[in-house]
Structure 1
Amino acid sequence: MVSPKTFGSMWIKCLQAHVYLRLLKGQTIDDIPEGVLEDCAQLVKANSIQGNKVNNVDIVYTPWQNLKKTASMDVGQVGFYNQKMVRTVRVEKRINEIVNRLNRTKVERTPDLKAEREAVNAAERAVKKQHLREKKRKEELERLEKEKQAELRSYKNLMVAEKMTSNKYIASTKKSLQELEEDFM
């Protein structure tokens, strides 16, 4: 399942080239395979205005939640909320084989972001409902076990009227005191 919440964003500062990489749910920017990172960095370099002309370019990438944009910033310029979440990779020179391979396999589409978001939300709700059902079932089993244990420890079963005898009943059996004591033992 792919979650739109978990994007990694990569770009070159001031060169205005951006690549957005959608990660799998639970994946972090530290989990990005080296080959994918190289492909993204090559795309950024190839599609930037100035980065395509120079060598040894640093590509900066971070999760999209860490991007900070204020009204005073130029177009394409961004900042960061947390500098510790920023990673850098250096691109020595453009590798045309990678860029050409990526351009040949490029698929442009206009995603229905609302539908994707709704699908992700529905999947998350389904998982939450399943967890709630499992939790309720587990709590019910625990409650039943607790009741069973409480019943075993209670004196309720010891004081049953059918098992009790009264002094009147004993007197009516016409047994002697010695016989009653022997029955008791």
Structure 2
Amino acid sequence: MVFYYKARPEVGDYTIFMGLDKHENEELIKYGFPEDIWFHVDKMSSAHVYLRLHKGQTIDDISEGLLEDCVQLVKANSIQGNKMNNIDVVYTPWYNLKKTPSMDVGQVGFHNSKMARTVKVEKRINEIVNRLNKTKVERKPDLKETPRRDAKA
């Protein structure tokens, strides 16, 4: 099961998504798109949240409002991180995620740690989380069969 969300309308037509559990996260890690940006609460258990950028965009094209939606969603979906203030959320392009056979299910590292960015999230903003949750759609995509470029979430 993959959960899809729509970012705030004023930032453009962007899809944010996350897996149901660590096993779904494995599939998302394996079958990501070059336009995907991965988000996770740093040094804590949390959902793997992805932002699908438009073709040709990079991590540098993420607006402040779009970043806020992503980090609030990942914070809200971390049991530990949701209860704390001043947490760090790390994010990086999908293709920078490194998975080795010795890693636990859902665990990742980075090919290049310099490509990973960190943002401080002072507190949960319920207004943002509630707005995102109103757009939530659940689907069971066959990630392996989804066309890499033309798939629309």
Length-normalised TM-score, structure 1: 0.58
Decide which of 120, 130, 137 is 1:90's aligned counterpart.
120
Amino acid at match of 1:33: S
Q: Secondary structure of the equivalent of 1:52?
A: helix
Work out whether residues 16 and 77 of structure 1, in 8 Å CA contact, stay in contact via their aligned partners in 2. Answer: no
- Say if 2:138 is the partner of 1:108: yes
C-alpha distance in structure 1 between counterparts of 2:74 and 2:124, whole Å: 10
Amino acid at match of 2:34: K
**Structure 1, residues 92-136: CA drift from partner, whole Å, max 9, x if none?**
000111101110111222335456417639xxxxxxxxxxxxxxx
C-alpha distance in structure 2 between counterparts of 1:113 and 1:15, whole Å: 23
C-alpha distance in structure 1 between counterparts of 2:41 and 2:91, whole Å: 8
Aligned residue in 2 for 1:11: 40
> What is the CA-CA distance between 1:17 and the residue it aligns to?
1.8
Gaps of 5+ in 2: 1-13, 15-31
Aligned residue in 1 for 2:80: 50
> What is the CA-CA distance between 1:75 and the residue it aligns to?
3.6
C-alpha distance in structure 1 between counterparts of 2:127 and 2:41, whole Å: 21
> Which has a greater percent of helix?
1
C-alpha distance in structure 2 between counterparts of 1:108 and 1:33, whole Å: 26
Aligned residue in 1 for 2:97: 67
Please say which structure displays the higher CA radius of gyration.
1
Identity score, percent: 69
Aligned residue in 1 for 2:26: none
* Aligned residue-pair number: 120
> Which has a greater percent of strand?
2
Change in 2 beyond 3 A, CA 1:28/1:118: closer
C-alpha distance in structure 1 between counterparts of 2:96 and 2:148, whole Å: 23
Work out whether residues 46 and 81 of structure 2, in 8 Å CA contact, stay in contact via their aligned partners in 1. Answer: no
Which protein has greater RCO, CA pairs closer than 8 Å, 6+ apart? 2
Change in 2 beyond 3 A, CA 1:4/1:68: closer
